[in-house]
Amino acid sequence: MVNVSYSSSFMGGDSTGIAKLGKEMMKIMKERDASASYYSKEDMKRNQENLTHFGNLAKEDLTSDNNTGLYTTIVADFVERALRPTLVAEGAIKRIRISNRGTSAIKIPVSTLVTASALPDSGAVTYASSVNYTSQTVTLGWVYAAQKITMELIEQGNVDLIQDQLIELGDAISRKIDSDIIAAIDAAISVGTNGTNLGASTVISYGGFVAGLADAMDNYIMPDVIITNPTTWKNLMVDTDVKSALHFNSVTAGTVFPLVNTFMGMKLIVSQQVGANNFYFVDSTRCGYYVEASEVKVFNDRVSGSLAQEVIAAKNYGVGIVIPNSVYRLKENTA
Residue 160 pLDDT more than 80? no
Residue 27 pLDDT more than 70? no
Residue 184 pLDDT more than 50? yes
Q: How confident is the model at residue 11 (pLDDT cuts 50, 70, 90)?
A: very low
Q: How confident is the model at residue 133 (pLDDT cuts 50, 70, 90)?
A: low
Q: Where are the domains of the chain?
A: 190-287+325-331
| The CATH number fitting domain 190-287+325-331, selected from 3.40.50.150, 3.40.50.1950, 3.30.540.10, 3.30.2320.10 | 3.30.2320.10
Residue 144 pLDDT more than 80? yes
pLDDT tens digits, one per residue of 232-281: 999 998 999 888 877 665 555 555 444 447 888 888 888 888 989 999 99
Task: Give the closest residue to 282 by CA, choosing from 231, 335, 213, 229.
Answer: 213
- Model-level pTM? 0.72
* Model pLDDT, residue 59: 43
Average pLDDT of the segment spanning 316-335: 91
Average pLDDT of the segment spanning 134-149: 85
Reduced to 3 states (helix: H, G, I; strand: E, B; else coil), residue 335 is coil
Residue 61 pLDDT more than 50? no
| Structure-model confidence comparison of residues 58 and 172, the more confident one | 172
Q: How confident is the model at residue 70 (pLDDT cuts 50, 70, 90)?
A: very low
Q: How confident is the model at residue 335 (pLDDT cuts 50, 70, 90)?
A: low
Task: Give the closest residue to 318 by CA, choosing from 146, 189, 134, 143.
Answer: 143
Residues sharing a CB contact under 8 Å with residue 191, sequence separation 6 or more, in sequence order: 197, 331
Give strand pairing partners of 107: 137
Q: How confident is the model at residue 67 (pLDDT cuts 50, 70, 90)?
A: very low
Determine contact, residues 323/110, Cβ cutoff 8 Å: yes
- The whole-chain average pLDDT of the chain stands at 75
* Model pLDDT, residue 12: 38
Residue 60 pLDDT more than 80? no
Which of the listed ranges 78-92, 119-133, 222-236 does the model predict with the highest average pLDDT? 222-236
Task: Tell me which of 92-96, 111-115, 177-181, 316-320 is least confident.
Answer: 111-115
Give strand pairing partners of 263: 266
Reduced to 3 states (helix: H, G, I; strand: E, B; else coil), residue 138 is strand
pLDDT tens digits, one per residue of 292-312: 888 888 877 777 777 777 788
| Structure-model confidence comparison of residues 23 and 271, the more confident one | 271
Determine contact, residues 3/32, Cβ cutoff 8 Å: yes
